[in-house]
Amino acid sequence: MKILVVEDETKIGDYLRQGLSEAGFVTDLARTGLDGHHLAMTESYDLIILDVMLPDIDGWRILQSLHDAGKNVPVLFLTARDSVEDRVKGLELGADDYLVKPFAFAELLARVRTLLRRGATPVAETSLKVGDLSLDLVRRQARRGGRCIQLTAKEFSLLEFLMRHRGEVMPRSLIASQVWDMNFDSDTNVIDVAIRRLRAKIEEGFDSKLIHTVRGMGYMLDEPAQE
Ligand code: CA
């Protein structure tokens, strides 16, 4: 599997190339938009990871150009936090998925694997739904029963993670590594506190609970069982 990374920030580019190589992918790194564009048009890749903000030609023009040339390689684009317009624009231009910077490498790898499994089918997941709780992944908004819920960036990531794994018990250690990109060997209190805050926001004032504590194991998000 061959991946092209187009990223002008040296540190991020090196980090991605190294991480992806270690994960077993053949990885080319382009540090400018023009280089990236040239490689994308002339070489054959299974996936392109495309930074949007590039100093010469931006990610959008590269994406547009690939699209015009009929290249249907899956594209994962990297965007800045809080740039809703970017996310909407990228998906409209035919990108398959996006990641908001800064991101955890584990998350990037998970998205890469999903895209490669899916091939070039351009269906980006734009929302998640469990019961009356919905998460708009593009606008980064949570709603329950029609009511808008304000979440911090970390709470949003936590909720997204639990919703992507609905019905599965998630151990605290896994939540720590996937959502915080850290290992909490001894102190998983951080997770418990974050879960408590999230519960207060998505459960208080509603009839049913969505986040369930599985004693001695972790947390699980699912619709309440019907009585
Ligand atoms: Ca950049």
Task: Break the chain into its structural domains and give their ranges.
Answer: 2-118, 125-221
Over the range 170-199, which residues count as b (16 or more CB within 10 Å of their CB) and which as e? bebebbbebbbeeeeeeeeeebeebbeebe
100-135 confidence digits (pLDDT tens): 888 889 989 999 998 888 765 545 678 899 999 999
What amino acid is encoded at 19 in this protein? G
Centroid of ligand 1 to alpha carbon of 78 (angstroms): 9
Q: Which fold has domain 125-221?
A: Arc Repressor Mutant, subunit A (1.10.10)
Centroid of ligand 1 to alpha carbon of 174 (angstroms): 30
CATH 3.20.20.120 for domain 2-118: no
Give the pLDDT band (50/70/90) at residue 91: confident
Asked if residue 100 lies in contact with residue 81, where contact means CB atoms within 8 angstroms, the answer is yes
Centroid of ligand 1 to alpha carbon of 88 (angstroms): 18
Centroid of ligand 1 to alpha carbon of 147 (angstroms): 36
138-177 confidence digits (pLDDT tens): 888 999 998 999 999 889 999 999 998 888 888 888 888 7
